[in-house]
Amino acid sequence: MARVLKLIALAILVLVIAVIGILAFTFLSRSGPTDGREVGGARVVVDGFSSVAVIPLREGRVALIDAGNDATGAAILRELSRRQLGPGAVVAIFLTHGHPDHIGGVAQFPNAEVLALADEVPLIEGRTGARGPLPRLFSVNPTGITVTRALRDGEVVTLNGVAFRVYAVPGHTAGSAAYLANGLLFVGDSADAASDGTLIGAPWVFSDSQAENEASLVRLEQRLVADGANVTAIVPAHSAVIQGMAQLSAFAAASR
Ligand SMILES: [Zn+2]
């Protein structure tokens, strides 16, 4: 009996070490986002281990890309007050996907339209669970969030003078989206900057399908080229800003 217990304890220990190892590798191989980084008129606000992009619109309004990790929205509210704005100035929150570290602060901005790809709505609203190796371990509960505008792939939403083009990039989650606005490509968790500055795909341990994520990034690159998009920078949620399109093109070339 004692021997069986020892074996079970050993198995649990090995499992815990493996999970810690995978998480450490996932985070240490990426170069983290910089709080307050200004890029193309937008500003990166770090919120715990995630980040939010604040995009100024006309007439003192702003749009957010994602809503961070913190349910109190403290980091986002601080950035708004730095701009002498209140929570009512946020007119839109474009969600890249429904993982909890991207939707935390949504409820703090009651005036905002909440926009996401139609395929992602059940995950955002907490009616279905994520399917990645780690996310699938968590229980499914209603989030209290209502997506007020379900988006289609290829759609362009224009708000107070800024156009947001929607690209479906399934793989990290079923309805993951990238948004192109003012030459900035916001990719959520679908791509990251590695510590050497190269673009890498979504982390396997948090993703529904790594293969689908990679195929989506290849297709995204082709579509951006076909659209004649002038991408000045790529902005991931968990890692540093990547200048220009060259890294995405290199990733796509290596994956084809
Ligand atoms: Zn995610």
Give residue-wise pLDDT tens across range 101-113: 999 999 999 999 9
The amino acid present at 91, given as its one-letter code, is: V
Q: Are 120 and 98 in contact (CB under 8 A)?
A: yes
CA of 93 to the centre of ligand 1 (A): 16
- Please state, in angstroms and rounded to a whole number, the distance separating the CA atoms of residues 204 and 172: 8
Computed over every residue of the chain, the mean pLDDT equals: 93
pLDDT value at position 13? 73
Q: Which residues partner with 206 through β-bridges?
A: none
What average pLDDT does range 31-60 have in this prediction?
Answer: 94
Report yes or no on whether pTM surpasses 0.85: yes
CA of 102 to the centre of ligand 1 (A): 7
Give residue-wise pLDDT tens across range 125-155: 999 998 889 888 888 999 999 999 999 999 9
What average pLDDT does range 148-166 have in this prediction?
Answer: 97
CA of 251 to the centre of ligand 1 (A): 20
- Please state, in angstroms and rounded to a whole number, the distance separating the CA atoms of residues 78 and 68: 13
CA of 50 to the centre of ligand 1 (A): 9
CA of 100 to the centre of ligand 1 (A): 8
CA of 138 to the centre of ligand 1 (A): 14
Q: Which domains does the chain have, with CATH numbers?
A: 33-255 (3.60.15.10)
Give residue-wise pLDDT tens across range 192-251: 999 999 999 999 999 999 999 999 999 999 999 999 999 999 999 999 999 999 999 999
Identify the CA nearest to 192 among candidates 3, 33, 10, 24: 33
CA of 12 to the centre of ligand 1 (A): 26
- Please state, in angstroms and rounded to a whole number, the distance separating the CA atoms of residues 33 and 110: 27
CA of 176 to the centre of ligand 1 (A): 9
